[in-house]
Structure 1
């Protein structure tokens, strides 16, 4: 029997029942598709290539053995990152549904997997955009004749403030406290930004002008432990960030697909310009050597492997429903397999390249201040809003380089933000298509307004405490690893790895690399479970997070538990219904409906599952017609 790429089985389309064919046509007409492959690729790239590539990966590489860190990183990438990345994208393309209804279609009992991922997206939509508000605040202040964070002569400065470049350039003071330039790196990857010394109170005996600008001018932190009043100027920056985000996606993929031509590509231009400037500065080679210097002994540390795993999960935006939503706007026969491989390689190459940019500039800073690189290297917000602005201020024309840097930070975060909003809007629209599909602009506006209001506590005088808490326990590694285990188990062991493989073959016209099947079956869930267990047994407690008030001890567990309980709740609800809880939707096309759902070493593990509505292939239908005398 001849198989075809676009029809699955020769003449299958002609033999499709008219009712089903009409239904399929109406669905495809009602739902948008990407105008071309470039829009899909740029949207995916914009989502997965974000701030963590610039301010997290380079530091992790330096901290965990330099070039040796690539070994655990690429192991997690090939055996966890790429398999789950491809699974979610292919699931969206196959079902043409968002992050919730896609799981309902293939296995109604595990609809909670999709709901859990959308809870993570809600977390991100509320607090991640606060970073963009910070970037806008700094960007607007880049146009002063003297950059405000380089001076100690401002009303927000204290008597402890020191202009470090003016005081210490060329003179290394061993007794100076330089800990504000670095922070203990967080445990949770792409969206994670932890705080240590830069947010402690009271300030150090000697504090830099950059640190005081961050603490006393922008954040206006208080030591009361409460949230305090809203910072009005930050509220305006947050509002502007939401206005920009709304107009990027309010028309759906029609606008999203066009906006990403700029937002996904311009940061690369910025990185390239900063890289050229960085590598030509004195001290750049020292910084790059610290970034890549191999330390084989680090491989024996479990923390290194945990850092690599959680970095891959966050950097590739898996288990958040975003990849499923973006994939759902693909045409059925798009070759998403090659797309996913290319996007994953692009993401990792961007992270490595960003390391050269960051550490060349930090090496120059160490050279200018005559400091060891150990006192300069930093991660997270400490890099983006304290150390890097300090380094750029040492360059000729610091205003120009500061504008480029904060514009890059803004655009890196912007496309990740509006794609998360797009994911939530897609999930809600597909849940209630009759009501929301024609009211998409109102839906996106409602999401923006609600998330803006929920984000206001994060820009209060004590909002940094709430931000730290949400960042650590909202989209945490524990949540993502938990969801990843269920995703792979549901697809491989409930829906059937063989059947999902057939679905992919029907879409792209050929079978993907067979190792993916065994990753979904064994390797990926085992690695995720082991990493999850290590995280649970480690020091993942509220007490290990610096500078959080006492009320966080009650609030933090809720952030972690809420996504996780969605899966068992929906599972029990499905069990109470007791009908077709593992039977896929009847409108899903099956290439080989009579084949086993799962085979291992030529042994049938899970038998075929047939629905009386599932489309029969050409030969079966012909036999049926022949036996009935038609």
Structure 2
């Protein structure tokens, strides 16, 4: 659907916009990454810094991104160009490393979920889910440079992921993304509720729930617990991706943007908290069934979804296959709702600047996405995924978010954004919001960044060789940064960049 006055895509309703924003935010990480971080960082103790991070960083930054997209009226590249032409590259950079980085390996993980959905029907992983996942399914090699062969089950499922992405993206914002999320989000909620309630009925479930809710306050003195909490909030809300800026630009002028940001953030975190009950209940069941301590059930984050859960599914007896199908279907739905948002953010940027036909652009990007994801379907794919994910999440997104705050807070009149938000929203932002964007968030993000760099210098990440970390991780960041400047200096094929924000009193 396009606006009659601007010719720009628009959402059919505020509900559709909020569901799409929630669909982008809610992903695989809400189910297994949040639960694992809680499990690893003192159970209920982790919820304290997590909720503080949500209030002091997540919601203010999401409001900022909604405000940038809505007031400057454009995708991330267009919005930052309107802030200042010299900042346009900052709009392109996150789009490049998410479209040609995150979504490439993310779609491969969704492909794993699709494969495991079918494996669940026969409990194909047998008595040793760990060996099945790493040795039989992925057939992981010993080095990132030992790529090995393409795993056909993953390749076929990857093709399905990109076909679904293409079908939704090519239809546009209203009939495509909005409609898909109106189906996906209620479905995901129903699946999650079914899994949580089922898990709570299992023997030993309350032991797990108790560990989930009982805080170990001694953990709060560990700075890494706080860094993990702020990092999780930042990543789970799709902040720094350029997605929320694009989505907000599709909203009509009279739209409650501040309220929408708060609803989106709370719904996303609420989903994580809800999923945590199901995950910990299942861990408690495994602990009781196997006679081992709860802390010995899971050893690593990715193992929670593809090793611990399959093992628990096998322990459920005849009900196991149905539980497995529900679990991996929920992961698939959560993953696809997030992947389409990443592709759409890039489509929006290209459309705004180069006016390329959406159908052609969506087709080309989905073909490139499938081709780029092939490396993650190989036997060395897990190692590539681990490296690329580490560098993009710990450096790319953090630096992009930090620069976003600096660009708007210090090199642009942030009151322009705040006044616009207050004009269209019921909830009024005070000058406290300016201070968070200008001072608090840059400090939080700088601490996370410095911490990651310090740990990086102490020892090579994941015990990989420095050659693989530089050749894969740092190169991915560097090449995407270079390309962002290349795109920024290209001439505009549209007149969008000649307009300022859409508020009448704003300059």
Q: Same fold (TM over 0.5)?
A: yes
Question: In the aligned structure 2, how far is the partner of 1:509 from the partner of 1:63?
Answer: 39
Alignment of 1:185-196 (within 5 A): none
From the CA coordinates, give the structure whose radius of gyration is larger. 1
Q: What residue in structure 2 maps to residue 266 of structure 1?
A: 187
| CA-CA distance at 1:220 after TM superposition | 2.1
Give a deviation string over 1:494-541, Cα, whole Å, max 9, x none: 221222222223333674243212111221112212222222122467
Residue from 115, 119, 137 that aligns with 1:218: 137
Q: What residue in structure 2 maps to residue 481 of structure 1?
A: 398
Give the stretch that moved more between structures: 85-94 or 373-382. Answer: 373-382
Give the stretch that moved more between structures: 552-561 or 77-86. Answer: 552-561
Alignment of 1:7-406 (within 5 A): 28-122=5-99, 123-144=101-122, 147-150=123-126, 163=127, 209-223=128-142, 225-253=145-173, 254-396=175-317, 397-406=319-328
Question: In the aligned structure 2, how far is the partner of 1:290 from the partner of 1:42?
Answer: 31
Q: What residue in structure 2 maps to residue 173 of structure 1?
A: none
Give a deviation string over 1:215-248, Cα, whole Å, max 9, x none: 2322123346510121222211111111111112
Q: What residue in structure 2 maps to residue 459 of structure 1?
A: 377
Question: In the aligned structure 1, how far is the partner of 2:3 from the partner of 2:206?
Answer: 60
Q: 1:318 to 1:566 in 2, by over 3 A?
A: farther
Alignment check: 8 A CA contact 1:226 1:549 kept: no
Question: In the aligned structure 2, how far is the partner of 1:510 from the partner of 1:211?
Answer: 49
SS at match of 1:59: helix
| CA-CA distance at 1:283 after TM superposition | 0.6
RMSD: 2.4
Give the stretch that moved more between structures: 336-345 or 94-103. Answer: 94-103
SS at match of 1:33: coil
| CA-CA distance at 1:214 after TM superposition | 0.8
Question: In the aligned structure 2, how far is the partner of 1:134 from the partner of 1:53?
Answer: 17
Question: In the aligned structure 2, how far is the partner of 1:143 from the partner of 1:26?
Answer: 46
Instruction: Name which structure has the greater RCO, CA cutoff 8 Å, separation 6+.
Output: 2
SS at match of 1:424: helix
Q: What residue in structure 1 maps to residue 494 of structure 2?
A: none
Question: In the aligned structure 1, how far is the partner of 2:460 from the partner of 2:125?
Answer: 31
Q: 1:444 to 1:569 in 2, by over 3 A?
A: closer
Q: 1:359 to 1:134 in 2, by over 3 A?
A: same
SS at match of 1:149: coil
Question: In the aligned structure 1, how far is the partner of 2:465 from the partner of 2:207?
Answer: 36
2:336 matches 1:414: yes
Alignment check: 8 A CA contact 2:384 2:472 kept: no
| CA-CA distance at 1:67 after TM superposition | 1.9
Alignment check: 8 A CA contact 1:485 1:528 kept: yes
| CA-CA distance at 1:136 after TM superposition | 1.1
| CA-CA distance at 1:315 after TM superposition | 0.5
Alignment check: 8 A CA contact 1:465 1:547 kept: no
Structure 2, gaps ≥5 residues long: 492-496
| CA-CA distance at 1:256 after TM superposition | 1.0
2:414 matches 1:493: no
The structure carrying a bigger helix percent of its residues is 2
Question: In the aligned structure 2, how far is the partner of 1:269 from the partner of 1:509?
Answer: 31
Alignment check: 8 A CA contact 1:378 1:387 kept: no
Q: 1:541 to 1:326 in 2, by over 3 A?
A: farther
Alignment of 1:565-584 (within 5 A): none
Give a deviation string over 1:571-622, Cα, whole Å, max 9, x none: 9x79xx9xxxxxx9544245545xxxxxxxxxxxxxxxxxxxx6xxxxxxxx
Give a deviation string over 1:128-159, Cα, whole Å, max 9, x none: 10011111111122333xx1112xxxxxxxxx
Structure 1, gaps ≥5 residues long: 1-24, 151-162, 164-208, 578-583, 594-613, 615-630
Q: 1:66 to 1:50 in 2, by over 3 A?
A: same
Give a deviation string over 1:396-444, Cα, whole Å, max 9, x none: 32111111011011001010011111111111111112xx1xx211110
SS at match of 1:545: helix
| CA-CA distance at 1:451 after TM superposition | 1.1
Give the stretch that moved more between structures: 532-541 or 109-118. Answer: 532-541
